[in-house]
Amino acid sequence: MNKIVTITLIVLVAIAGIWFFTRGEQAAPATANPEPAAAESDVVIDVKGIDFAFDTTEITVNEGDVVTINFESTEGFHDWVVDEFRAGSRQVRPGTPTSVTFTADKAGTYEYYCSVGHHRAAGMVGTLTVVEAQ
């Protein structure tokens, strides 16, 4: 008699387990949320700094876009600055990524650069193009 009770309990636990895990798998995609920065910005761009250049030297966005630059140094001490939008990241070393968000509210062509030491003069620059809204 005890064997029958034990087997019945094992079967019930197995069924409950299968039900629980199946339910968990189905629920998982619904709880996934997008990155907060991506949700609030129209454009998110990854830029890396090396000595003495950016891996991305041309960035084009539309007038009015909220732009987030995710900046990371892979070599040396750098930042990402564009004066016309008063936007500048923290100055960082490798292993400490940072980001800066600004609104590109004026159409035109602007230079972005690294403000550390002589890096800008050494050519650590790029071009931000803001395309006029139609």
Q: Give the binding site for Cu ion (CB under 5 A).
A: 78, 114, 116, 119, 124
- Nearer to Cu ion (CB atom), residue 124 or residue 128: 124
d(CA 64, CA 70): 19
Shortest CB 86 distance to Cu ion, Å:
19
Contact call for residues 48 and 96 (beta carbons, < 8 A): no
- Nearer to Cu ion (CB atom), residue 54 or residue 85: 54
- Say which residue the tokens 């500048």 belong to: 88
- Nearer to Cu ion (CB atom), residue 48 or residue 119: 119
- Nearer to Cu ion (CB atom), residue 85 or residue 113: 113
Shortest CB 63 distance to Cu ion, Å:
28
Element (H, E) at 115: none
Q: What is the DSSP letter of 63?
A: T
| CA distance readout (Å), 45 to 19, 28, 37, 40, 68 | 42, 28, 11, 13, 6
Shortest CB 52 distance to Cu ion, Å:
6
User: Which residue has the closest beta carbon to Cu ion?
Assistant: 114
Instruction: Provide the CA 37 distance to its chain's centre, in angstroms.
Output: 7
Shortest CB 42 distance to Cu ion, Å:
27
Give the residues across from 67 on adjacent strands. Answer: 43, 102
